[in-house]
Amino acid sequence: MFKDAIRPAWAEINLSNLDYNIKSIKAKAAGRDLIGVIKADAYGHGAVMCAQVLRENGVKTFAVATLHEAITLREAGALEEIIILGLTPDMYADTLVKYDLTPVVCDSQNAKAISDAAAKAGKTLEALIAVDTGMGRIGYLPSEAETAIFDIKKIAMLSNLKIKGMFSHMSTADAFDKTFSKEQEEKYNEFFKALTAAGVNIPFRTFANSASIMEIPSVYFDAVRPGIILYGCYPSDEVDKNQLSIKPVMSIKANVVHLKDVPEGFSVGYGRKFIAEKPSRIATLALGYADGYPRPYSAYAKVIVNGIMCPIAGNICMDQCMVDVSQVPNVKVGDEVIIMGSDGVNTILADDIAAATGTINYEICCAFGQRLPKVYVK
């Protein structure tokens, strides 16, 4: 039967599994604080609802990617510290102050603009210093330590922006070979020592991402930043999954909206990629690649219909896809179909879809979370 959602296709978010994952990560982190990474709408899972479960587990700091994401949380009632992991241009300094947000900085001029805005409002903000130990994205380069420390000292002298601490990000922590991760760790530690020797107080450090939490405890420092593992997906197939027990939080489901019996030789979908080899029964689902179901997955995709794995028939369309349900007895309009998830016997993971389409589970979850309505369950 049809579920009470906005449309007959939805992302089902299991908050009990999220709660389980948070507790598992906290146990692994051995007493360190958790910074709940809920950027990209909590990787497609819904940042506001996920923040509530984190809050119930004692998490006091959230991390997002953009100013807009931070504002969304504030306006939803979040009182916790919110770190913006991306850089915030000078022109938005007043907004940072208005919403009491924690920016990341790696430029004294940008930091001064934020401090000036805070002074104008009679407030003081905290900021994290970004250090680029090997990601090549944002942050001061340890290889240019003298210049970097000179600039950071300017930030330390600002009256209304205080240095909360420093952070960096690992690029290959999810790889089996941890050589480069160890190099990044060494650069991070050396830069911290250099800052301390130069008289710059760094009271707080955070470095560990999901893969680091699983396998590199030496970078736990003061707080760890779990992202994808919060949502029950492992960072890669190269990490030791025995290091952390997690459960998938997102399932993608839809109802059969139409059924038709077609004769041998009948074609289905754009490009006529499916030609019925025998009389067949075709079910239509109301979701497609605009909902995050990748079109390149068409040739490999299977879904679970009444306990039976059934292939997608033809190319996935923008808003719909078709399924060959010929082998499913008594299938009817309204039957629930699992696109990603498990019925207890059969399982389709985000990893499976990612592997077949040459991407990563992060992208699959984020894409599914954009247009589909979310149904929260416990």
DSSP summary character for residue 126:
E
Straight-line distance from the first to the last Cα atom of the chain, in angstroms, rounded to the nearest whole number: 20
Distance in angstroms (rounded) separating the CA atoms of residues 129 and 111? 10
β-sheet bridge partners, residue 35: 61
- Check if the beta carbon of residue 283 is closer than 8 Å to that of residue 312: no
Residue with tokens 């390149």: 296
Q: With beta carbons less than 8 A apart as the criterion, state whether 300 and 265 touch.
A: no
Which sign, positive or negative, has the C-alpha torsion 283, 286, 292, 294? positive
Q: Where do we find the tokens 């999220």?
A: 18
What is the C-alpha separation between 296 and 278, in angstroms, rounded?
25
Contact yes or no for 115/161 (Cβ under 8 A) = yes
Element (H, E) at 186: helix 179-197
Q: Which of 354, 142, 131 is nearest to 248 (CA)?
A: 354
Which of these is catalytic: 39, 164, 178, 187?
39
39 is catalytic: yes
* Helix, strand or coil, per DSSP, at residue 232: coil
Q: Which residue has the tokens 């207890």?
A: 344
Q: Say how far residue 224 (Cα) sits from the centre of its chain.
A: 15
164 assigned to active site: no
Nearest to 303 by CA among 318, 319, 282: 282
Question: Which residue among 260, 270, 332, 378 is the active-site one?
Answer: 270
* Active-site annotation, residues: 39, 270
